[in-house]
Amino acid sequence: MEKTIKIYEGKAKIVFETVAPDLLIQYFKDDATAFDATKKGTIKDKGIMNNKISSRLFQILEKEGIPTHFVKILNEREMLIKRVVIIPVEVTIRNIVAGGMSRALGLEEGLKLDCPVLEYHLKNDSLHDPLINEYHIKALKIASLTEIETIKNYSFKVNEILTRFFSSINLDLIDFKLEFGRFKDEEIILADEISPDTCRLWEKTTGKRLDKDRFRRDLGNIEEAYQEVLRRVSK
Ligand code: 5GP
């Protein structure tokens, strides 16, 4: 499948059209940003690792009944995906307190939550992705009530599947961010990527962070951490 026109370039990915109207190519870059793109850098081969990690995780989710935009991996940096209209809401699920929740509520990182916490954030860098709730989503016609229910159900199911999977490779899934889209104007499917850029993954036995926090917080050994996640998810 050949790329034709570039239709979108984001912080970590580029999306191209193909000759097939419903299929796009998602290209993974090495660029890394944090704090609403005020911190910028590159992580060597991140695009290659995230393409492979994401592909594997999408395959696992599809097998468990979660519809995703993933069609197939094409090469080191590209996957073929279904064309969706992205719903401009980031869905975050948290199992253990870290990052934004720790800062917002003054809680210690590492505190285990009694049940998973789901948050919605409006996708808008200039507004710093503000926290919103289901009423905002409905009132602003971002998505319908039925779509919100579908997104919520899929998100909790993704959490169950991925928590179990990561646990089997000695990683705790602390939190993660998902994005959904409308395929052919009707079906809600999981889109974007699932990778150490979008998940916090801590090694169970040591607590070592194997995710983008190594870049955000200048912890060093960033490439090694992504390689380690890739090695484990590929087993
Ligand atoms: P927090 O709100 O604590 O910063 O992020 C919660 C989780 O969602 C983390 O795993 C983080 O990686 C992911 N996340 C939230 N917003 C974004 C975003 O804009 N980009 C990326 N790559 N991940 C995000």
Q: End of a domain among 51, 66, 84?
A: 84
Span 55-102, pLDDT tens digits: 999 999 999 999 999 999 999 999 999 999 999 999 999 999 999 999
DSSP summary character for residue 106: T
Span 91-138, pLDDT tens digits: 999 999 999 999 999 999 999 999 999 999 999 989 999 999 999 999
pTM: 0.97
Atom of ligand 1 at shortest range from CA of 212: 12
pLDDT at res. 191:
98
Distance 176 CA to ligand 1 centre (A): 6
The closest residue, in CA terms, to atom 4 on ligand 1 is: 100
Residue with tokens 């193909």: 18
Assess whether 42 and 121 both reside in one domain: no
Assess whether 89 and 73 both reside in one domain: no
Q: End of a domain among 19, 52, 84?
A: 84
Tell me the torsion sign for CA atoms 129, 79, 95, 175. Answer: negative
CA distance between the termini of the chain? 28
Distances (CA, A) of 39 to 59, 88, 179, 193, 234: 32, 22, 22, 21, 30
Domain span including residue 21? 6-84
Residue pair 53/162 in contact (Cβ under 8 Å)? The answer is no
- Residue 62: phi and psi, rounded to 5, are -60, -45
Average per-residue pLDDT for the chain:
97
Residue pair 173/159 in contact (Cβ under 8 Å)? The answer is yes
In a domain, 227, yes or no: no
- H/E segment holding residue 147: helix 145-168
CA 185 to chain centre: 22
Assess whether 65 and 165 both reside in one domain: no
Assess whether 105 and 68 both reside in one domain: no
The residue whose CB lies within 8 Å of the most ligand 1 atoms, and thus the one to mutate among 103, 175, 195, is 175
CA 206 to chain centre: 24
In a domain, 233, yes or no: no
Distance 177 CA to ligand 1 centre (A): 6
Assess whether 107 and 197 both reside in one domain: yes
In a domain, 232, yes or no: no
Distance (Å, whole) CA 156 – CA 36: 26
The closest residue, in CA terms, to atom 7 on ligand 1 is: 176
In a domain, 128, yes or no: yes
Span 10-40, pLDDT tens digits: 999 999 999 999 999 999 999 999 998 899 9
Nearest by Cα to 154 from 125, 191, 122, 124: 191
With vertex at residue 228, the alpha carbon angle to CA 160 and CA 48, rounded to the nearest 5 degrees, is: 90
Assess whether 63 and 110 both reside in one domain: no
Residue with tokens 């992705």: 129
Distance 186 CA to ligand 1 centre (A): 27
Q: End of a domain among 54, 84, 114?
A: 84
Atom of ligand 1 at shortest range from CA of 123: 19
Assess whether 137 and 171 both reside in one domain: yes
Nearest by Cα to 68 from 50, 77, 55: 55
- H/E segment holding residue 33: strand 31-34
